Amino acid sequence: MIPALHPPASNAMPVGEIDTPALIVDLNAFDANLALMAERIATVPNVRLRAHAKTHKCPAIGRRQMELGAIGVCCQKVGEAQAMVAGGIDNVLVTNQIVGQRKIACLAALAKNAWIGVCVDHADNVEALSTGAVAAKTTLHVLVEINVGANRCGVDSPQAALDLAQRIQAAPGLRFAGLQAYQGSAQHKRAFAEREAAIAEAVRRTGETRTRLAQAAIDCPIVGGAGTGTFEFELNSGVYNELQAGSYIFMDADYGHNLDAHGQPEAQFKHSLFIYTTVMSTAAGHYVVDAGHKAHSADAGPPLVADFSNARYDRPSDDHGIITFTGDGPCPALGDKLRLIPGHCDPTVNLYDWLVGVRNDRVECVWQVTARGATR
Amino acid sequence: MIPALHPPASNAMPVGEIDTPALIVDLNAFDANLALMAERIATVPNVRLRAHAKTHKCPAIGRRQMELGAIGVCCQKVGEAQAMVAGGIDNVLVTNQIVGQRKIACLAALAKNAWIGVCVDHADNVEALSTGAVAAKTTLHVLVEINVGANRCGVDSPQAALDLAQRIQAAPGLRFAGLQAYQGSAQHKRAFAEREAAIAEAVRRTGETRTRLAQAAIDCPIVGGAGTGTFEFELNSGVYNELQAGSYIFMDADYGHNLDAHGQPEAQFKHSLFIYTTVMSTAAGHYVVDAGHKAHSADAGPPLVADFSNARYDRPSDDHGIITFTGDGPCPALGDKLRLIPGHCDPTVNLYDWLVGVRNDRVECVWQVTARGATR
Q: How many helices (H) and strands (E) does chain A have?
A: 9, 17
Is residue B355 domain-shared with residue B225, that is, in the same domain? no
Q: Is the pLDDT of residue A5 over 90?
A: no
Is residue A232 domain-shared with residue A327, that is, in the same domain? no
| Half-sphere exposure in the Cβ direction for A61 (13 Å, CA) | 33
Q: For residue A216, what pLDDT band results from cuts at 50, 70 and 90?
A: very high
Distance CA B118, CA B120 (A): 7
B36 assigned to some structural domain: no
Q: State which of B201, B217, B251 marks the end of a domain.
A: B251
CB distance B323 to A376 below 8 Å: no
Q: Is the four-CA dihedral A50, A54, A59, A60 of positive or negative sign?
A: negative
Contacts of A287 (CB under 8 A, 6+ apart): A279, A281, A322, A323, A324, A325, A331, A332
A375 assigned to some structural domain: no
Is residue B122 domain-shared with residue B178, that is, in the same domain? yes
- Over range B158-175, report the average pLDDT: 98
Closest residue in B to A184 (Cα–Cα): B317
Q: Do B124 and A372 touch (CB under 8 A)?
A: no
Chain A positions in Cβ-Cβ contact with residue B375 (cut-off 8 Å): 4, 21, 290-291, 294-295, 319, 351
Average pLDDT taken over every residue of chain B: 96
Is residue A123 domain-shared with residue A134, that is, in the same domain? yes
Is residue B80 domain-shared with residue B228, that is, in the same domain? yes
- Over range B333-341, report the average pLDDT: 97
Q: Do A154 and B284 touch (CB under 8 A)?
A: yes
Helix, strand, or coil here: B90? coil
Q: Do A100 and B20 touch (CB under 8 A)?
A: yes
Contacts of A75 (CB under 8 A, 6+ apart): A52, A53, A54, A81, A84, A92, A93, A94, A95, A371
B163 assigned to some structural domain: yes
B208-266, pLDDT tens digit by residue? 999 999 999 999 999 999 999 999 999 999 999 999 999 999 999 999 999 999 999 99
Q: What is the CATH number of the domain that holds B115?
A: 3.20.20.10
A98-116, pLDDT tens digit by residue? 999 999 999 999 999 999 9
Is residue A164 domain-shared with residue A246, that is, in the same domain? yes
Give contacts of A 32-71 with B, CB under 8 A: 54
- Over range B176-202, report the average pLDDT: 97
Residue that wins the pLDDT comparison between A178 and B329: A178
Q: What pLDDT score does B347 carry?
A: 98
Distance CA A278, CA A280 (A): 6
CB distance B340 to B313 below 8 Å: yes
B84-130, pLDDT tens digit by residue? 999 999 999 999 999 999 999 999 999 999 999 999 999 999 999 99
Q: Do B153 and A284 touch (CB under 8 A)?
A: yes
Distance CA B251, CA B165 (A): 35
Is residue B21 domain-shared with residue B138, that is, in the same domain? no
Dihedral in degrees, nearest 10, Cα atoms A337, A339, A344, A348: 40
Q: What pLDDT score does A96 carry?
A: 95
Q: State which of B251, B283, B312 marks the end of a domain.
A: B251
Residue that wins the pLDDT comparison between A139 and A309: A139
- Over range A181-206, report the average pLDDT: 97
A131 touches chain B (CB under 8 A): no
Average pLDDT taken over every residue of chain A: 96
Closest residue in A to B150 (Cα–Cα): A284
Is residue A236 domain-shared with residue A188, that is, in the same domain? yes
Q: For residue B272, what pLDDT band results from cuts at 50, 70 and 90?
A: very high
**Percent share of chain A, pLDDT over 90:** 95
Q: Is the pLDDT of residue B15 over 80?
A: yes
CB distance B342 to B303 below 8 Å: yes
* Closest CA relative to residue B192, chosen from B104, B146, B257, B259: B259
Q: What pLDDT score does A1 carry?
A: 64
- Over range B5-16, report the average pLDDT: 96
Q: Is the pLDDT of residue A2 over 90?
A: no
Q: Do A156 and B320 touch (CB under 8 A)?
A: no
A304 assigned to some structural domain: yes
A278 touches chain B (CB under 8 A): yes
Give contacts of B 186-215 with A, CB under 8 A: none
Q: Do B298 and A298 touch (CB under 8 A)?
A: yes
B37 assigned to some structural domain: no
Domain count, chain A: 2
Q: For residue A330, what pLDDT band results from cuts at 50, 70 and 90?
A: confident
Q: For residue A4, what pLDDT band results from cuts at 50, 70 and 90?
A: low
Is residue A338 domain-shared with residue A359, that is, in the same domain? yes
Q: What pLDDT score does B4 carry?
A: 67
CB distance B41 to B59 below 8 Å: no
- Over range B52-59, report the average pLDDT: 98
Distance CA B130, CA A282 (A): 19
Is residue A116 domain-shared with residue A194, that is, in the same domain? yes
Is residue B163 domain-shared with residue B80, that is, in the same domain? yes
* Closest CA relative to residue B161, chosen from B207, B100, B225: B207
Q: What pLDDT score does B5 carry?
A: 81
Chain A positions in Cβ-Cβ contact with residue B152 (cut-off 8 Å): 281, 284, 288, 315, 317, 320, 322
A216 assigned to some structural domain: yes
Q: What is the DSSP letter of B360?
A: T
* Closest CA relative to residue A299, chosen from B293, B97, B173: B293
Q: For residue B304, what pLDDT band results from cuts at 50, 70 and 90?
A: very high
Q: What pLDDT score does A283 carry?
A: 87
Q: Could you tell me the residue range of the domain that residue B298 belongs to? A: 8-25+272-368
- Over range A7-22, report the average pLDDT: 98
**Rounded to an integer, what is the distance from CA A276 to the centroid of its chain?**
21
A153 touches chain B (CB under 8 A): yes
Q: What pLDDT score does B73 carry?
A: 98
* Residue A43 C-alpha, separation from nearest chain B C-alpha, in angstroms: 30
Q: What pLDDT score does B1 carry?
A: 64
**Percent share of chain B, pLDDT over 90:** 95
Is residue A96 domain-shared with residue A146, that is, in the same domain? yes
Closest residue in B to A76 (Cα–Cα): B319
B265 assigned to some structural domain: no
A170 assigned to some structural domain: yes
Q: What is the CATH number of the domain that holds A320?
A: 2.40.37.20
- Over range A52-72, report the average pLDDT: 98
Q: State which of A223, A257, A291 marks the end of a domain.
A: A257
Q: For residue A123, what pLDDT band results from cuts at 50, 70 and 90?
A: very high
Of B19, B20, B318, which to mutate for an interface test with A (greatest number of A Cβ within 10 Å)?
B318
